[in-house]
Amino acid sequence: MFSDIRGFTSYTARKGDRAAFELSQLHESLLREQIEEQGGIIVKTMGDGIMAAFASLSPALYTSVGIQQTVRQRNGERPVEPIDIGIGLASGTPIMTDADFIGHSVNLSQRVSSMAKGGQILVTERFAHEVTPPDRCHYISLGKRELKGLDNVQLYEVAWMSEVARLSDRDDTFTLILTEKGTLVVELAKNIQAHLDDAVAQLGKAGGDGAFSSFLQRGIEKFTRAIVDKSLAVAGIAREQLLDKVDIEIDGKDVSVSIGGHRHIRLQGVDVDQAALFRDKMLQVRESVRRGTSDGSGSGG
C-alpha cells in the first residue's frame, strides 16, 4: 500500500518547511494507527508518503477504507486545513531486504497510488478479483490506464462513500460525487496539482537580470501563487460541501459548479445525459435533506 498527500509541494511553498513537516507527521500518525490495527507494518516514510505492507489482502483494503474515513472525519472537523490523500494497492510477494521491500508489486502499487485523486483508493485488477470489498463498498472499473514504465493496467476504484451518483470530466481530472447524506465531494487529480507546482517552479528560470526584472518576476510569482491558492481552495471544498450551497449549470458538454455563489469548478467534455441525471439527483437529494427524509446512513456517509 502506498499513500501520499496531494498538493504537498505547493503546501510547503505556501506554508513553509515546519508546517509541511507537521502535516507529514499528522499524515503518518493517522495512518499508523489504522495500519497496525489491521496487522500491517509501515515499511518506510517518504516525507509526503507512506509505504506499508500486509500479510494478506483484506486487511490492506479495510485499512485503506478506514484511513479515508478517518481523514474525511478529520477534515469535517477542520475544514479550513484539510488533508487530501490518494491510496494505491497491489498484490504480490516482494523481495525483502534489511531496510526495504522491492519488486514488481511494489513498483505497481506506487504507480497506482500516483494515479489516485485525493480521497480515492485505487487497486489493480488482480487485487479486485481476489478481495471482496467491505460492506457498503464496491468496485468501479476505471478501464485501462497507462502507468509509467508499466504500460496499460486495468484499475478499479474502491467506492467507500455511500454515493448516489458521480460525474467526471473528459480527462478524468475532476470527479463530482453526490452522497446520500446530502453533500457534494470533489476528487481532484494529482496531475492538476503537479502542473500548478511546475508553473511556479518555472518562474525561477524566467526573466533576466536587474531590479525591474526581479520586481516583475515577484509580481508574476504572486499572481501565479494566487491561482495556485485558488485552485487549492477549490480542492479544499472537495472534502464535504452541503448541497444547499451548490448550484450546477450545464452548457453543452461543460458543467459549471458554483459553491456559495462565488467559487467555481468547471468540468469539460462531460456526457450531457449523465450530467443532467446528476443534477436531477442532486436536486432530489437536496430536497430530501431539507424535508428531513435523508437518513445519512452508510459507510462514512
Q: In CATH, what is the architecture of 162-301?
A: Roll (2.30)
Gap between the Cα atoms of 269 and 33, Å rounded: 41
Residue 96 β-bridge partners: 101
Model-level pTM?
0.77
Q: Read off the pLDDT of each residue in 95-101 and give the average, rounded to a whole number.
A: 82
| Of 241 and 194, the one with more pLDDT | 241
Q: For 243-289, how does the pLDDT look when each residue is reduced to its tens digit (9 = 90+)?
A: 888 888 998 888 888 877 765 677 888 988 999 999 999 999 998 88
Domain ranges in the chain are: 2-160, 162-301
In terms of CATH, what superfamily is 2-160? Nucleotide cyclase, GGDEF domain (3.30.70.1230)
What is the DSSP secondary-structure string of 190-201?
Answer: HHHHHHHHHHHH
Residue 262: the pLDDT is 62
Gap between the Cα atoms of 240 and 18, Å rounded: 27
Gap between the Cα atoms of 76 and 283, Å rounded: 23
Residue 272 β-bridge partners: none
Cell numbers found for residue 3: 499513500
